[in-house]
Structure 1
Amino acid sequence: MVKALFLVASLLVLGNVYFIHASFPPSLLVDMAKIVMDNYCSPEKLVGMKEAIDAASSNTEILNIPDGESLANVLSAGVQTTVSDPRVLVSFEPNYVHVVPPKMPPLPPEQLIAVLQTAIKLDILDGNIGYLRIDHILGEEIADKVGPLLLDLVWNKILPTSALIFDLRYTSSGDISGIPYIVSYFTEAEPLIHIDSVYDRPSNTTTKLFSMPTLLGHRYGTTKPLIILTSKNTKDIAEDVAYCLQNLKRATIVGEKTSGGAVKLDKIKVGDTDFYITVPTAKSINPITGSSWEVTGVAPDVEVNAEDALATAIKIVNLRVQVPAIIEGSANLIADNYAFENIGADVAEKLKGLLANGEYSMVVSKDDLEAKLSADLKTLSGDKSLKTTKNTPALPPMNYSPEMYIELIKVSFHTDIFENNIGYLRFDMFGDFEEVKPIAQIIIEHVWNKVVNTDAMIIDLRNNIGGPTTAISGFCSYFFDAEKQIVLDKLYDRPSGTTTELLTLPELTGIRYGSKKSLIILTSGVTAGAAEEFVYIMKKLGRAMIVGETTAGASHPPKTFQVDDTDIFLSIPTVHSDSAVGPAWERVGVTPHIPVSADAALGTAKGIFNKHFAGQK
């Protein structure tokens, strides 16, 4: 540390700051360094301090600064840089008088009431939301004296509220013994919780703070929403309270990052001089995080300007009031409509269990709720298609001219003819059958006729993200013969409880490829939805070889459901393929016959066909 101070001193000399006579005793630096070394709360930051002290006695250039205040500023900057702690301050105060905070004198009840009403602000907001502002954290001694009055004037009015906003934006002082009192009112009586540890450097002792088994009055409990408001002026003990409750997952912090103060600061006189050094002599170590809020401050869960914190907190509370009904409604929709009935019932039951266990008690916004609900639904069901969604209205149909359709088709479909007359067809989305029907002839002329007369075909669905399954029957039919109608799949619709057969179509636009020519379908982890249904059918019926990666394991196009009268919407798959003949593709995907990376799939398919046709020559 002292070495850092002399670096500052040398800079002053280089800046032509020169004084002939030292104004302060040479022992000042050594005495100051020893105070820090013996009292600073984080001794691990003081490595090498002893050597620095030894060097200080012969390096006193900095003491030539004649002005005590200027020297104090230079020393503060040096010591703060050395220990990376802005809380360590050096001051020059010739007239300093140490003041011991007076103990609270006995006061008549009416005066106590006036004091408490001035120090504590209480309000009951719309929606039965309690608002409590305390600008000083009371310690055990004072709390014992004013406890009964606090109950009558404040706490008993807070208890019936449905949620509490605890305003610590202006709280800059307090007593460390008040921490367990406040935290305990928001926890259960048993078991006791280790909420904080305070290490005191001068005594080299650590005091563990636990929640309290008995309290004056009733506890607020662990289930009602608790929001703590903070600002950059929230300091010291208030920071500890906020940090403890935040890491216990009991409170949501809204506002600004706090100041990063200390649980205990001592102002110590340096020798016989008029210099004083303020040192954090104790530090908080949270048992959950293993770290502290000191220096860095408490980071809010929802960061907003201090003046906006109350309005933001009210919005969060109002959302949380709706959460139980939203989760219950979501569970009921899934139980009644999810394609796989047993899984839907299990997901619904477990979702309600998460709600009962408080898993949704800390959501802070609609987006946060939707993200958590989606993640939980995916985890519980194993189905990435079961999730929250936006209620986006369908776009009106576009009135394209024939020329525009031709250009659109050219962009949407890719065809090629490889060696040995191998056809290649790629498209990246399935269209709705009713929308495709009017332009079927255009697709035949500009796409299908380019590949239909090949000796084998590669259908590339590696980038096909799905779409409506209404076109599946028609597309599959091109690869079977017209003479015999084939059951491609059976689709079970959960809401109606009905099963529909997907059959090949007896009549098609254009020429069939037929059932005899070889077919390879390329897949990847992107291949999803309707594309998977096509791959599943063609593999199940032995009509095609599948090369590539296991498909996405999505679903038939899900339906959108509104959760009661809220603005939360769920995407729920309601249809599944016939699982009586074996595992369906939903949730797990279709496994290829030849697993290779998506990038290698086309080369592998071409190699298979080239080898096959070479053997025929």
Structure 2
Amino acid sequence: MTTPKASPALVADVPAVIEETTRLLAAHYVFPEVAHRLAALLRGRLKEGAYDTADPAELGARVTADLQSENGDQHLRLKFHPERLQEDADQVDLAALRSEFGASLGGVPRVELLQGGVALLELAPLFFRLAWAAEPLSAALTLVAPAGTLVLDLRNMVGGDPDTVAFVCSYLLDERTHLNTQYWRAGDRYEQSWSLPHVPGARFGGAKPVYVLTSGRTFSAGEELAYDLQQLGRAVVVGETTRGGAHPRDGWAVHPHLEASIPVGRAINPVSGTNWEGVGVRPDVPCPADTALDRALHLATRESAPRG
């Protein structure tokens, strides 16, 4: 007999949730001016009765819609969690994450050699923290290194660790390369991300063709990998425009089941001088996501055909 899960706690004090959310916005959001406007908006909506509900999921949805109304920042949310949060919401449930890591073979659910010497490498659903992911990623990237062409499938990649993104890029480049710069509001500082000078195993290298598959689901760190490679001219992006989330975030519990997810930095690409926030990564070869693999294979076949 299974024990039914307890229902999420009702929101007993909506004003306290809104006030704490606005305080965190003002203290941490990467765009302080936007934070102050959003704080005023939330307080005004509270007075109007827009948040009159005891259902934490409904409150989270209403507040999230208002938070994203200013600039469409998809990392800026009042996120509902069915399970009770830890006191520090940014401390991810490691048991659940470990389970997801194992179920996806460390974020590498598919490695396949296709016709014509094309290797297909699917990375999903997350770029897990590098301490976990380095071994399976290194094994997979070393396995595909002899292939003539590589197709990276990011259609179901929805986020993860920027250090792991840099690790993957390192296998696809010949020289140490500046990939990205993060601006952090805390300390008003900049932090550069570079590919690694050395990697475990064999590199695919920087000369052979790479195609990156994207979808409307591809998000956050998945978008960073596609964008970094595209801006460097290292890969052809095939598929759909991605969701458009370029701001790294932290999380704070403002209720046992509600997390204030607040971007605390922004990406600055060294080639474009900007990022994919709000606009997504735009494919070089647009097509529906479910046809992207076939389209990439067609392009790869055409590229490898003898010139006459």
State the partner residue of 1:413.
109
State the partner residue of 2:170.
477
State the partner residue of 1:570.
260
Correspondence for 2:123 among 415, 419, 427: 427
Q: State the SS of the aligned residue for 1:420.
A: helix
Deviation at 1:386, TM superposition (A): 1.4
Superposition TM-score, scaled by structure 2 size: 0.82
Write out aligned runs for 1:25-64 (5 A). none
Cα distance change, pair 373–589 in 1 and its aligned pair in 2 (3 A)? same
Question: 1:593 is aligned with what amino acid?
Answer: D
Question: 2:110 is aligned with what amino acid?
Answer: H
State the partner residue of 1:551.
242
The answer to whether the Cα contact below 8 Å between 2:75 and 2:247 also exists between their aligned partners in 1 is no
State the partner residue of 2:159.
466
State the partner residue of 1:588.
279
The answer to whether the Cα contact below 8 Å between 2:106 and 2:133 also exists between their aligned partners in 1 is no
The answer to whether the Cα contact below 8 Å between 1:555 and 1:573 also exists between their aligned partners in 2 is no
The answer to whether the Cα contact below 8 Å between 1:469 and 1:556 also exists between their aligned partners in 2 is no
Superposition TM-score, scaled by structure 1 size: 0.43
State the partner residue of 1:193.
none
State the partner residue of 2:141.
448
State the partner residue of 1:515.
206
Deviation at 1:370, TM superposition (A): 2.2
Unaligned runs of 5+ in 2: 1-8
Q: Deviations over 1:550-603 (max 9, x none)?
A: 11223455211133x886431112221016844421333111111100011111
Q: Which structure is higher in RCO with an 8 Å CA cutoff and minimum separation 6?
A: 2
Correspondence for 1:376 among 62, 66, 71: 66
Q: State the SS of the aligned residue for 1:585.
A: coil
Q: Deviations over 1:304-330 (max 9, x none)?
A: xxxxxxxxxxx99x93xx333332321
Q: State the SS of the aligned residue for 1:480.
A: coil
Q: State the SS of the aligned residue for 2:182.
A: strand
State the partner residue of 1:611.
302
Matched, 1:363 2:59: no
Deviation at 1:443, TM superposition (A): 4.6
Cα distance change, pair 570–520 in 1 and its aligned pair in 2 (3 A)? same
Distance 1:410 1:474 in 2: 14
State the partner residue of 1:394.
92
Matched, 1:335 2:26: yes
Identity %: 29
The answer to whether the Cα contact below 8 Å between 1:472 and 1:534 also exists between their aligned partners in 2 is yes
Distance 2:263 2:102 in 1: 33
State the partner residue of 1:436.
133
Write out aligned runs for 1:470-509 (5 A). 470-482=163-175, 485-509=176-200
Write out aligned runs for 1:235-384 (5 A). 319=12, 322-360=13-51, 362-384=52-74
Cα distance change, pair 377–432 in 1 and its aligned pair in 2 (3 A)? same
Pairwise CA RMSD: 3.0
Distance 1:518 1:554 in 2: 27
The answer to whether the Cα contact below 8 Å between 1:530 and 1:556 also exists between their aligned partners in 2 is no
Q: State the SS of the aligned residue for 2:161.
A: coil
Distance 1:566 1:397 in 2: 19
Count of paired positions: 287
Unaligned runs of 5+ in 1: 1-314
Q: State the SS of the aligned residue for 2:168.
A: helix
Distance 1:357 1:331 in 2: 16
Cα distance change, pair 370–411 in 1 and its aligned pair in 2 (3 A)? closer
Cα distance change, pair 578–407 in 1 and its aligned pair in 2 (3 A)? closer
Structure (1 or 2) with the larger CA radius of gyration? 1
The answer to whether the Cα contact below 8 Å between 1:479 and 1:512 also exists between their aligned partners in 2 is yes
Matched, 1:602 2:293: yes
